[in-house]
Amino acid sequence: MAIDQELYRPPPPVTPPEGGSWRQRVIPWWPHPNILTGILLGAGGYALGHFLGNVIAGNWARFGNTNMNDVALIIGYLVATLGFLVGIGALNYPVAKIFGLDPPLAKAAPRGLSRYFAYTPDHKVVGWQYLIGMLIYFFTGGMFALAIRTELLFPRYHSHIFNPETYLTIVGIHGTMMMMMMTSVIVGPFGNYFVPLMIGAKRMAYPRLEALSFWLTPPAYIILLSTMLVGGFPTGWTGYAPLANEAVQGMDGYEVAFALMALSLIITSVNMIATIVDFRAPGMRWTRLPMFVWGALTTSVLTALAPPVLFAGLYFMGMDRTVGTALFVDAHGGSSYLWENVFWFFGHPEVYILALPGFAIAAELLPVFTRRRLFGYNVSAAGMIGVCFMSWFVWQHHLFVSGINADMRPLFMLTTEVISIPTGFIYLVAMATLWKGKLRFEVPSLFVLAFYLNFLIGGVSGVFLSDVPVDVTVHGSFFVQAHFHYTIMGGLIFAFFGAIYYWIPKMTGYEMNKTLGWIHFWVMFIAFQLTFIPLFIVGELGMPRRYFEYAPKWATLNQTASAGAYAIAISMIIFVINLVYSMVWARKRSVENPWFSRGLEWQTATPPPPDNFERIPLVLSHPYDYGNPIEDIPVADLRGVPTPAVLAASAAGVSGGSDEIDDPPGPGAGPGDRGGEQ
Amino acid sequence: MSEAGERTAREMPRALRMGLVGFSFAAVASAVGVWGVGFLRTGPPPVAAKVVRTASGCNAYLTIQTVGSIGYGPRPSWVSYLVQNTKGQWVHSTIFVLPSHCTIHMTNYEYDGVTPLRNNVFGRVTGTVGGKEYVTGDVGSKKYSTSTPVSVVDGATVPAHTFTVPALGINVPWAATTASNLCAVAPCSPKSPHDIDKITFKTGAAGYYRWQCIVPCGLNFLDGNGGPMQTMGYMQGFLAVEQS
Ligand SMILES: [Cu+2]
Ligand SMILES: [Cu+2]
């Protein structure tokens, strides 16, 4: 029991180096690996990889007449990514360790603003990087959405803004970029930033992997956009074979970008699971785990298992397109069904990778704003585990009209309908929490309410779609498109903005402007309905997805949807104005804990200090004990783990079992580890 | 306490720096965005046919050539269509501007060799005046030195490409030369071996009509269906039929 004395002792004071002040040892930002050195080596890596690819495959017959060497392009992308990671310093630590050296510049990690452009093991910096990174992804994908809606303003005849293949590329980049972004949009920023704070840890389990998971996303972004330069890709985000096999070089960028994102997701999830399982503070029992952490955990289980399948599929496709295997080519013994199955075996759990974090945010925020205990905490957590498990048994509902064995269809219709039961658990728990609650209408709670409304429409239309007869009728139409935009954009993105408004005061110490927040919400909410309700109707009338022309009788509905899309863009501009105004211009100090949350993340200083907590807190009670007589019981004792005697008394009385006390700081923890955080 | 003090002292420059970083980022992003929109909007130019109006009606003359490899541009090895503008220059485009309710006299200089059709249905000439095309040159093993009407060809030995406009019911398998020393750089000189294929068809109401080559001629792409077959300016295009 002397362990706490050893572990939570403040670090020894750092003495300035000989012959100079400490200040001089702080090296300026530019010799430290940063995003610019990364870009430099990335560009060099591309040139090198492309050259190598041409040496290897320049005279292969299969590229003879196409004037496109897929081998050179893919090796170029891969070496560029490697070069970027080397340039940003991702390999400094492991390589130095291999040779038994001190990690270069570890003691002189950049401070201030420049650390946000560097490879850093600080989970709060990575959270910020993810937040800004995913917003850039989101806004870029949104620009492509606007391009789609602009093309569809007029049905046909001299009104085309783009060529048909350009339109398909725009649809493909919009879909792929949004899907890549959505998988990380909550767990990336808020998971990395808040999970350690919410479970009472000082950091994530694998800080360097955490940085790696983020720094894989900028190359993925650039590579995906670069597909435009080499002819684009015609498949949309689903990359169906054999269209993908016969597509031009743009397809290679889709493969590499999506694969990098899959890798990033796998790394994030491993880190998240290890952190949540191993790094909980004493007293943070499973039954006290905040719903957001439950969401991050179940999502991470899915992202640990589903993206590897996608990665394998993309690898197969890359092999087909480069060295000439025929895994997806029916004529040579492969099967295009293989791609469809592999893709959706990833793709359907992916749907829940998008849904669960939204539910987690909503369930996390609701008790705070209703001042009520979360109704059925166990049911909600069980629902998440149920969804996590069930989501592996539904993927063939995407293949109902593909010509699969017809006997499979009732089975997958049934499993798809069954998964709405655990989803219903999570949903009804929230409704019961709202029931007779006194809801405070703050900006975050508005976004949460909108989340539930939108998800209701998206979810119920999803139950329709799971029925084979309905799916056979509306498959591949805008009905499907409207359905998943209601669940993903109407669900996840509304939850995402709710989370931004909720947590930004904690992350920065400054308030978001409330009036602008209200305007943002109402413009976005109304514009969202204006965009996607007409698309349900045109889809039901038979308008297919991914076509750049349509029957003139659908013009009014399409124009309404386009107007809605422009209004969503306006709401995003209002959000950016609010963010810049509140964080850079007005800088109004937020009060500590403005929402009166019991969450552990609100108990520490604002913004959180480098190590989150001065001492590892001792969690004393449930995070959602609002409105109970015991609300006065503090959620945690921030003085940390007390002396063994007090500890024993508290463990017997109010708090967690003694087995959780010797919570280790994790493998590999050492003085050098926090170099980047200082 | 000292940390808080330090933060206050650095507050303004920090805000300023954040603003500057944000501003330069926004500037770069909008520049890239503007360039991106321009880039995405690039495509083959619309080229108008030569229109002659007389008391008897409207006649338009559209002259194109098909070449096995264009020889220049970003995809030099791709099979392509070119069209003559009203000044007689060859333009690499597949968007033809035609007047509505007009008789179109279309001439194709076919410099490419034979690529078999996958479905013989498209070996039949449909939608043209008289259901015929008029060929000078090779039709399989037959050789015509004068313009000879043809209404159906053998899909395996005759066509190079097709001109297929589903909305107008037009399908024309362009008869190909059987010579081997084909022109590889457009525009081709009439000294290179070629067939001359002529059709006449009527445009109806104004509209934007898609046309496509049905011969799977994307060499070295899976099933011959990739690359030029999927790209504007190569094996697909539009008839922009304008109100006249
Ligand atoms: Cu699904
Ligand atoms: Cu062709």
Residue A604 domain flag? no
Q: Is B43 touching A (CB cutoff 8 A)?
A: yes
| pLDDT tops 60 at residue B178 | yes
Average pLDDT, chain A: 86
Residues A69 and A148 in one domain: no
> Which ligand is in closest contact with the Cα of A466?
1
Q: Are residues A57 and A95 in the same domain?
A: yes
pLDDT tens by residue, A294-348: 999 999 999 999 999 999 999 999 999 999 899 999 988 999 999 999 999 999 9
Mind listing the pLDDT tens digit for each residue in A547-573?
Answer: 988 988 999 999 999 999 999 999 999
Q: With contact defined as beta carbons under 8 Å apart, do A527 and A535 qualify?
A: no
Q: Does A643 reside within a domain? A: no
The angle formed by the CA atoms of residues A396, A397 and A403, to the nearest 5 degrees, is: 70
Question: At residue A578, does pLDDT exceed 80?
Answer: yes
Residues on chain A touching B207 (C-beta within 8 angstroms): 156-157
Same domain membership, residue A373 and residue A259:
yes
Q: CA A5, A6, A11, A16 torsion: positive or negative?
A: positive
Amino acid letter, residue A138 = F
* C-alpha to C-alpha distance for A117 and A33, rounded to whole angstroms: 9
- Rounded to 5 degrees, φ, ψ at B179 are -65, 165
Domain that holds residue B169: 43-242
Q: What is the pTM of this model?
A: 0.89
Chain A: residue nearest B41 by CA?
A: A162
A191 inside domain: yes
Say if residues A57 and A100 touch (Cβ distance below 8 Å).
no
Same domain, yes or no, for A257 and A122? yes
Q: Which of A89, A107, A125 is the last residue of a domain?
A: A107
Mean of all residue pLDDT scores within chain B = 88
For residue A311, the model assigns a pLDDT of 96
Non-local (6+) Cβ contacts of B67 within 8 A are B79, B80, B82, B111, B112, B183, B184, B185, B186, B187, B188
Percentage of chain A beyond pLDDT 90 is 61
Whether residue A301 is found in the same domain as residue A386? yes
Asked if residue A239 and residue A96 are part of one domain, the reply reads: no
Interface size, chain A vs chain B, as Cβ–Cβ contacts under 8 Å: 87
CA of A222 to the centre of ligand 2 (A): 34
Q: Are residues B33 and B47 in the same domain?
A: no
pLDDT at A262: 96
* pLDDT tens readout for residues A258-267: 999 999 999 9
- A229: its two tokens: 């330069």
A365/A355 Cα distance (integer angstroms): 16
Q: Answer yes or no: are the C-beta atoms of B193 and B177 closer than 8 Å.
A: yes
Instruction: Chain B: give the shortest CA distance to residue A143, in Å.
Output: 9
User: Do both B9 and B58 map to the same domain?
Assistant: no
Residues B64-100: tens digit of each pLDDT: 999 988 888 888 889 999 999 999 999 999 999 999 9
Question: Does B32 share its domain with B49?
Answer: no
ipTM: 0.88
Cβ-based neighbours of A430, under 8 Å, separated by 6 or more? A359, A362, A363, A366, A380, A452
Mark yes or no for CB contact A158/B208 under 8 Å. Answer: yes
∠ at Cα A465 (A463, A471), nearest 5°? 150
Structural domain that includes position A188 = 112-586
- The pLDDT of residue B2 is 43
Question: Do B71 and B11 share a structural domain?
Answer: no
Q: What part of A 641-660 touches B (C-beta under 8 Å)?
A: none
Query: What digits encode the pLDDT tens for the residues A73-124?
Result: 999 999 999 999 999 988 888 888 888 877 665 555 566 777 888 888 889 9
| CATH at residue A532 | 1.20.210.10
Contact status of B189 with chain A (Cβ, < 8 Å): no
Q: What is the mean pLDDT of residues A16-38?
A: 61
**Whole-angstrom distance, CA of residue A514 vs CA of residue A505:** 12
Instruction: Confirm or reject contact between A28 and chain B (CB < 8 A).
Output: no
Check whether residue A252 and residue A182 sit in a common domain: yes
The whole-number pLDDT of residue A66 equals: 61
pLDDT of A629 higher than 70: no
- Out of A586, A616, A647, a domain closes at A586
Count of the separate structural domains present in chain B: 2
Task: Write a three-state SS string for A263-293.
Answer: HHHHHHHHHHHHHHHHCCCCCCCHHHCCHHH
Is A248 close to B227, i.e. CB distance below 8 A? Answer: yes
**Which of A481, A487, A270, A260 lies closest to A357 in space, CA to CA?**
A487
Is A646 a member of any domain?
no
pLDDT (average), residues A28-54: 86
Cβ contact, residue pair A67, B219, below 8 Å: no
What per-residue confidence (pLDDT) applies to A15?
53
Distance CA(B188)–CA(B193), nearest Å, equals 10
Whether A570 is covered by a domain: the verdict is yes
C-alpha span between A60 and A136 (Å, rounded)? 39
Average pLDDT over residues A160-185: 93
Judge if B49 and B29 occupy the same domain. Answer: no
A577 shares a domain with A477 = yes
Same domain? A330 vs A405: yes
Q: What is the pLDDT of residue B70?
A: 87
Question: Would the CB atoms of A329 and B76 count as touching at under 8 Å?
Answer: no
Q: How far is B79 from chain A (nearest CA, A)?
A: 10
Q: Are B221 and B110 part of one and the same domain?
A: yes
> Which residues of chain B are within 8 Å of residue A231 when distances are taken between CB atoms?
231
* Contact list, B230 vs chain A (CB under 8 Å): 165, 234, 246-248
Q: How many whole angstroms separate alpha carbon B125 and alpha carbon B199?
A: 10
B45 touches chain A (CB under 8 A): no
My answer on whether B196 and B121 are in the same domain is yes
At A79, is the secondary structure helix, strand, or coil? helix
Can you read off the two tokens belonging to residue B147?
A: 């313009």
Answer left, alpha or beta for residue A593, where phi above 0 means left and psi between -120 and 50 means alpha: left
- Tell me how many domains chain A contains: 2
pLDDT value of residue A21: 46
User: Are A87 and A221 members of one domain?
Assistant: no
Q: For residue B26, is it left (φ>0), alpha (ψ between -120 and 50) or beta?
A: alpha
State residue B90's pLDDT score.
94
pLDDT given at position A413: 93
Give the residue ranges of DSSP H helices in B1-92: 2-9, 11-41
Residues B139 and B225 in one domain: yes
What confidence score (pLDDT) does residue A8 get? 44
Is the domain of A330 the same as that of A250?
A: yes
Q: Are residues B23 and B59 in the same domain?
A: no
Which CATH number covers residue B135? 2.60.40.420
Peptide bond into B193 cis (omega under 30): no
Does A139 have pLDDT greater than 90? yes
What is the nearest CA distance from A62 to chain B, expressed in angstroms?
6
Strands B80-84 and B57-67: antiparallel
Q: Are A503 and A565 contained in the same domain? A: yes
Same domain flag for B28 and B85: no
pLDDT of A219 strictly over 60: yes
